[in-house]
Chains A and B, each alone.
Chain A
Amino acid sequence: MGKYVELTAATFEETIKEGVTLVDFWAPWCGPCRMIAPVIEELAEEYEGKATIAKVNTDEEQDIAVKFGIRSIPTVMIFKDGEVVDQMIGAASKQAFEEKINAQL
């Protein structure tokens, strides 16, 4: 069963450098982040082997959040071979995230 990857400063670059990666920047105190949490889990199962689905806890990984200029969560970024190619701010439906990933596959 596919599971999302919890990224840290040590694993971030290595994870996003190849292929398509969705990164959900979140924090435990954020209501809309919690709202999309089950959506992210479903995406991880759905895209197993096709794209990497990852999360960054901005509370614990502040350096990554600062690096990408995160000022609002949830922010969902799509990376392709290490580059940011798309991003969405705020909660959205599963279909909306799927469209963003599919556009890069």
Chain B
Amino acid sequence: MLDCAIIGGGPAGLTAGLYTTRGGLKNVVMYEMGLPGGQITGSSEIENYPGVTGEITGMDLMAPWPEQCMRFGLKHEMVQVERVSRKTDGTFVVSRSDGEADEALSVIVCTGSTPKRAGFKGEDEFFGRGVSTCATCDGFFYKDKEVAVIGGGDTALEEALYLSKICSKVYLIHRRDTFRAAPSTVERVMKTENIEKITNSQVTEVYGDAMGVTGVRIEDCSESRTWDLTVPGIFTFVGYNVNNTVLRQEDESWLCDLNDWGQVIVDLGMRTSTPGLFAAGDLRIEAPKQVICAAGDGATAALQTIAYVDEKQNG
């Protein structure tokens, strides 16, 4: 029986792993299907992690985290978790994609979120063949070419800036007339000559051939006209969907309460509606979707978990 099972190895899961093990829990396993680090490893620059100055990528930021946790005894199982369920005695079963199952006294779910699809025609067909959600991964394939970026938030503008250094031109397509991103980021975008803003517009279709995308169709919302842009690449940053499927039970019910968007409802101690089950990071309600917040959640959840396990073991 594990003291604690941590599902997911991003900033929340890693911090939960650090705090639970350093805080004295003995048998703690973090489940992450590959190298831990999480979604932030795809980010081209982090400017707002306290104490970390200078230009740093998400990958660089996360590189030392796993080793720090392992030092205190955190174990990493490189498998995907299919489901977390609860037995009648209040303990949990972690069902793994390799067919095995582990039992745990407590669970911290840190499965995060996944970039949302924008919803235009051809998006699924051309995903990975011109349609991308990772500029640091795929920007290289569009060196000195023109690309389109969809979105108006922090991620869209930061990644547009990153792409503007690699690509000859970046068309930034946003369905509103103002950007939601941080003012300093908006200002940098405005000053970048090879970023052309196309506002009040949305992409309705992406098309191409056997080799991939060749262009996109854009609809101007204010003038209700459509026109085409010849670009081989389109990067979408239109928000995130929470990864909550591990909480889905065999009878289609959920292991704990979720809100209408599928986000896990937690209190300030990251406790869910199910005793012994905690949630941290992007998948919880009102998540600010920042590394520092996910890490903070992980620490909070871990401290509450230690108290819960102590109560169970020593009553």
> Could you tell me which A residues sit within 8 Å of B by CB distance?
27, 29-39, 42, 58-59, 65, 69-75, 89-95
Contacts and interface: CB of A to CB of B under 8 A. Distances in A.
Nearest to B41: A31
Given A32-B42, A35-B41, A38-B78, A71 B34 contact: no
Contact of B33 (A27, A31, A70, A94): A94
Given A29-B140, A34-B41, A35-B41, A71 B129 contact: yes
Interface string B55-68: 00111000000000
Contacts of B59: 29, 31, 34
B140 A59 contact: yes
B35 A37 contact: yes
Contact of B137 (A31, A37, A95): A31
B130 A71 contact: yes
Q: A30, A35, A70, A89: which has the most chain B beta carbons within 10 Å?
A: A35
A72 B33 contact: no
A69 B136 contact: no
B257 to A, nearest CB: 28
B297 to A, nearest CB: 21
A94 B78 contact: yes
Interface string B63-75: 0000000000000
B212 interface: yes
Contacts of B58: 31
B79 interface: yes
Interface string B198-222: 0000000000001111000000000
B254 interface: no
B97 A93 contact: yes
A71 B233 contact: yes
Interface of B: 33-35, 37, 40-43, 57-59, 78-80, 97-98, 127-130, 132, 134, 136-138, 140-141, 210-213, 232-233
Contacts of B213: 71
20 contacts: A29-B136, A31-B40, A31-B136, A34-B37, A38-B34, A39-B34, A69-B211, A71-B128, A71-B212, A71-B232, A72-B127, A72-B129, A72-B138, A73-B137, A74-B137, A89-B128, A91-B34, A93-B34, A94-B33, A95-B97
A95 B80 contact: yes
Given A31-B58, A93-B79, A95-B97, 5 more contacts: A29-B57, A59-B140, A71-B138, A71-B141, A72-B134
Contact of A70 (B41, B43, B78, B141): B141
Contacts of B42: 30-32
B46 to A, nearest CB: 12
B125 to A, nearest CB: 12
Contacts of A75: 128
B210 to A, nearest CB: 8
Contact of B212 (A36, A69, A95): A69
A95 B129 contact: no
The 5 closest A-B pairs by CB, nearest first: A31-B41, A89-B128, A35-B34, A72-B128, A93-B80
